[in-house]
Amino acid sequence: MKTIAFYAPAASGHVNPTLGLVAELVRRGHRVTYATTATYAGRVAETGAEVVPVTSMLESRVGAEVPQMHGKELVRAMGLLLEETKVMLAQLDREPRPDLVVHDGTMAWWGRILAARLRVPSVETWPNLVSNEHWGMQTKYTTLNPLSPRFLLMAARIGALLRKDGLTDVPGFMRGDGSALRLVLLPRAFQYAGDTFGDGYAFVGPGLTERAYQGGWEPSRDLPVVLVSLGTGYNRRPDFYRAVLSAAADRPCQVVLAVGETDRAALGLIPPNVEVHAHVPQLAVLRHARAFVTHAGMGSTMESLHFGVPMVAVPQMAEQRANADRIAELGLGRTLPPGEVTGPALWQAVTEVADDERVRERLTWMRGELAAAGGATAAADAVEKLLS
């Protein structure tokens, strides 16, 4: 039995995609520890892993606006993540030495630092598109000037923290060059320039779990189900939700609308065929859905593809725009720019993707790609290969 330590930021889009791998490693007899907050402790414990309680500075910023991931806002996000890394290192510094560290490659910088500090191999989980010399988010979506004084100052601050552990290559650290393997939690076919990524990347696809912690859901009417959700990070969009309600009124469908932290009183009249929730058991609803209006976060995108549900993507930030463009490019749905969402336009897009046989064919193809990627089983095989 080996001990494997997991680290991920306190965010559904980063925790949920790892749970299938965690459950599979536990099933194979390994001891898995997972550092997470009280918000995610229940779903982690459901896998059989041992929860290591931590407190997140980012999670405590209740009501604060989530920074966008481009330009000056991306630099601000890096500053917040740097402070989160310091907070996490202070809490995890005395944890026992594992045989392997598995950590989120996008945000869990503390996982990289702890692996280097403990001198153990590390595996990175990437629940999003990855970059190399052939394709990268910065070419079209993040629009960051690497020579801006703000960015250079941020790089200097990150470098000062890394030097305390003898890490001097800041660009290499940010890329995750020290990891033994990157587990990319989407199929290679969805990745831009997917064939150009070499042996250091394993495109294993999503490893979904049943998520009993969320509860179940069943349709209350004999009508097509349309799920609408903007995810957990950028969901304060009352104008968008009012457009959804306008589109759904008097339509022959059952709409399940997740509004996050948005005040329901700001939504106005709720049509009888719409149920409004702060959050929904997304997998349970997707099992019945005819279409999914989504922010195009990668977790939601992979879940929709798993169930073969066509998407209308309404991206809210840079990474989601890249995902949405890929959805449209591969024929898995269509995209609506957030500023162009009206009730009629939204309903027309939903109807088009739900009734388009070509979209259904492409979804069937992509479901085959997900199955071939191997999911949690393939990811656990790759981890065990490193352990041996």
- Please report the pLDDT score of residue 346 as a whole number: 92
Q: How far is CA 23 from CA 50, 93, 157, in A?
A: 11, 25, 37
- Please report the pLDDT score of residue 141 as a whole number: 82
Sign for the CA dihedral angle at 288, 191, 158, 97 comes to positive
Range with the poorest average pLDDT among 33-42, 43-52, 220-229? 220-229
Whether the per-residue pLDDT at 237 is higher than 70: the answer is yes
Mean pLDDT of 311-319: 92
Nearest CA to 150 among 63, 256, 213, 72?
72
- Please report the pLDDT score of residue 59 as a whole number: 85
- Helices 298-306, 357-373: inter-axial angle, 10-degree rounding: 100
Do the beta carbons of residue 214 and residue 281 sit within 8 Å?
yes
Q: How far apart, in whole angstroms, are the C-alpha atoms of residue 316 and residue 358?
A: 26
Range with the poorest average pLDDT among 27-36, 65-74, 268-277, 303-312? 65-74
Q: What b/e readout covers 109-125, taking b as 16+ CB neighbours within 10 angstroms?
A: bbbbbbbbbeebbbbbb
- Do the domains at 3-210+373-387 and 212-371 have one common CATH topology? yes
Do the beta carbons of residue 31 and residue 50 sit within 8 Å?
yes
- Please report the pLDDT score of residue 265 as a whole number: 84
Q: How far apart, in whole angstroms, are the C-alpha atoms of residue 65 and residue 72?
A: 14
- Please report the pLDDT score of residue 64 as a whole number: 52
Burial class (CB in 10 A: 0-12, 13-18, 19+), 286: buried
Q: How far apart, in whole angstroms, are the C-alpha atoms of residue 45 and residue 33?
A: 10
Whether the per-residue pLDDT at 342 is higher than 80: the answer is yes
Whether the per-residue pLDDT at 326 is higher than 70: the answer is yes
* Beta strand 122-126 pairing with 50-53: unpaired
- Please report the pLDDT score of residue 27 as a whole number: 97
In CATH, what class is 3-210+373-387? alpha beta
H runs (alpha helix) in the chain: 12-15, 19-27, 38-45, 71-92, 109-118, 149-163, 170-175, 238-248, 282-286, 298-306, 318-329, 343-355, 357-373, 375-387
Q: How far is CA 370 from CA 126, 304, 357, 365, 375, in A?
A: 16, 11, 20, 9, 7
CATH number for the domain formed by residue range(s) 212-371 = 3.40.50.2000
**Band of residue 68 on the pLDDT scale cut at 50, 70, 90:** low
**Band of residue 67 on the pLDDT scale cut at 50, 70, 90:** low
Structure tokens that stand for 249 in this block: 């009124």
Domain ranges of the chain: 3-210+373-387, 212-371
Mean pLDDT of 103-115: 96
This prediction has a pTM of: 0.93
**Band of residue 92 on the pLDDT scale cut at 50, 70, 90:** very high
**Band of residue 238 on the pLDDT scale cut at 50, 70, 90:** confident
Q: How far apart, in whole angstroms, are the C-alpha atoms of residue 107 and residue 54?
A: 16
Range with the poorest average pLDDT among 108-117, 313-322, 366-375? 313-322
Mean pLDDT of 199-214: 87
Coil, helix or strand for 294?
strand
Structure tokens that stand for 88 in this block: 């996490």
- Please report the pLDDT score of residue 105 as a whole number: 96
